[in-house]
Chains A and B, each alone.
Chain A
Amino acid sequence: MSKTHIPQPETWLTDYGDMFYRYALVRVRSESIAEDLVQDTLLAGIQSFENYKGQSTVKTWLTGILKHKIIDHFRSAKHQSVSLDESELGDDLLSYQFDDQGNWKTDLVEWVTPDQSIDNDQFWQVFNSCIDRLPNHLGDLFILRTLHGLSSDDCCKIMGHTSTNQLWVALSRIRMKLRLCLETRWFNHE
Chain B
Amino acid sequence: MNKSMLKCKEIVELVSNSFETSIPWPKRWQMKLHLLMCKTCDQYYKQLLFIQKAAAKMDSHFKNASLSSTACNRIQEKIKDVLK
List residues of chain A with CB under 8 Å of any chain B CB.
3, 6, 9-10, 12-13, 17-18, 21-23, 25-26, 31, 35, 38-39, 42-43, 46-47, 94, 98, 101-104, 107-111, 114-115, 117-118, 121, 124, 127-128, 142-143, 145-147, 152, 167-169, 171-172, 175-176, 178-179, 182-183
Q: Does B58 contact A (CB under 8 A)?
A: yes
Question: What is the minimal beta-carbon distance from A173 to any residue of chain B, in angstroms?
Answer: 9
Instruction: Select one of B10, B52, B83 contacting A10, CB under 8 A.
Output: B83
Q: Pick the 6 closest A-B CB pairs, nearest first.
A: A102-B7, A172-B16, A102-B9, A124-B61, A108-B43, A146-B55
Verify B65–A104 contact, CB threshold 8 A. Answer: no
If the complex has contacts A21-B67, A46-B79, A146-B52, are A98 and B72 also in contact, measured as CB distance less than 8 A? no
Q: Is the CB of A39 within 8 A of B74?
A: yes
Please classify the interface of chain A as helix (H, G, I), strand (E, B), loop, or mixed, using the class held by over half of its residues. Answer: helix
- Cα A104 to Cα B20 in complex, Å, equals 23
Q: Does B9 lie within 8 Å of A46, measured CB to CB?
A: no
User: A25-B65, A179-B47 known; A42 and B75 CB under 8 Å?
Assistant: yes
Question: Measured between alpha carbons, how far is A18 from B63 in the docked complex, in Å?
Answer: 9
User: Interface size (B, Cβ < 8 Å)?
Assistant: 47
Residue of chain A at shortest CB distance from B66: A18
Once the chains bind, are A35 and B44 in contact (CB under 8 Å)? no
C-alpha spacing A18/B10, complex, angstroms = 44
Is B39 touching A13 in the complex (CB atoms < 8 A)? no
- Asked whether B43 lies within 8 Å of A109 as measured between CB atoms, the reply is yes
Chain A residues whose C-beta falls within 8 Å of the C-beta of B44 in the assembled complex: 108, 179
Contacts of A13 in B (CB 8 A): 72, 75-76, 79
Closest to B45 in A: A108
The smallest beta-carbon distance between B68 and chain A, in angstroms, is 8
Q: Is B33 an interface residue (CB 8 A)?
A: no
How distant is the Cα of A156 from the Cα of B10 in the complex, in angstroms? 23
- Taking the nearest CB of chain B, how far is it from the CB of A138, in angstroms? 13
